[in-house]
Each structure stands twice: as structure tokens, then as C-alpha cells.
Amino acid sequence: MENSNDNQIIEMPIPPGLPQSIIARLLEMCNVKFDLRKDEIHDVKYPVLCGTLEDLKIAKEYLELVTETKLALREIARLARKFKTKVKLYTNDDEYRYILEIIANDIANKDKIEIVEEEPEGECEVIKVLDKEVKVYI
């Protein structure tokens, strides 16, 4: 018998100041909606994600992964620009490769990063983003 709470729409507050690009990616990937709520007592607005409990659990996992991935890619692109090179990124996790491709479009110097589907030859540096591994080839 299906629990009636499974399809109930609930809210999950998200950290203020979260970049719009990350919120947009969550909306795109996790079947949730974004809204602003007003705290009448403190007279402030705060952001929330709205969706089913299952969708919000997924969104919470993706929120952390997408945020950390964006920080890592931004740093990789900055270093690639500094050293006037282009890097190839490879992961054997297809789902994470998709996330890398999406997030790479949201960062500055994205022309310095290429997400590849087949592992290149040569030496690489392995970077861990949460529980995911990314191999960086120069």
C-alpha cells in the first residue's frame, strides 16, 4: 500500500547566497521548484526548494556535489589559464561526467577545460570531489 506522504509537496530551506547557476542546475536535474518565503517575525525572505521528500533528498545530495564540483572546476580552470594550457578531465562514472559537463558550462575560463569520454594516455593527477574521482590530464 502506497504511503500518501510520498507525493506530498514539502519545502527545504537552502543556504542564502547560493549561486543562481547552482539553483538552476538543481531545478533542471532534480524535479524540484524554487521559491522565496517570508519570515514574518524577522521580516526577511529566505530561499526554499519545493518537492516530494524523495526529490528533495536527491536535490540535497546534488546540492553538495554540484557546489563542490563547481569549486573544483573553477580552480582547475584558473590554474590552466595561469599556466596557459588546456586540461582534459576524465571520470569513469557516467552520471558524474554528465554533471561535470553541465557545471563546466557555468564557470569562467571554461575554454581551458575539456570533459572527455575516453581516458587519455599519459600521466594524470587524481582529484577527489566528495566520493567522486576526476583524473586531470595536461
pLDDT at 121 over 80: yes
Grid coordinates of 130? 566528495
Give the percent of the chain with pLDDT over 90.
Answer: 78
DSSP code at position 120: P
Half-sphere exposure of 104 (CA within 13 A, CB side): 19
Mean pLDDT to the nearest integer, 13-31: 88
* Residue 81 clears pLDDT 50, i.e. is over it: yes
Question: Residue 21 pLDDT more than 50?
Answer: yes
pLDDT at 6 over 80: no
Q: According to the model, what pLDDT value does residue 129 have?
A: 96
Task: Give CA–CA dist 96/72, Å, rounded.
Answer: 13
Q: Judge whether residue 3 has pLDDT over 60.
A: no
**Three-class secondary structure of residue 94 per DSSP:** helix
User: Which pLDDT score is estimated for 29?
Assistant: 87
> For residue 30, what are the CA distances in angstroms to 5, 44, 52, 118?
18, 27, 10, 27
Q: What is the dihedral of CA 64, 66, 69, 73, to 10 degrees?
A: -150
Q: Mean pLDDT, to the nearest integer, of 38-65? A: 92
User: Is residue 4 over pLDDT 60?
Assistant: no
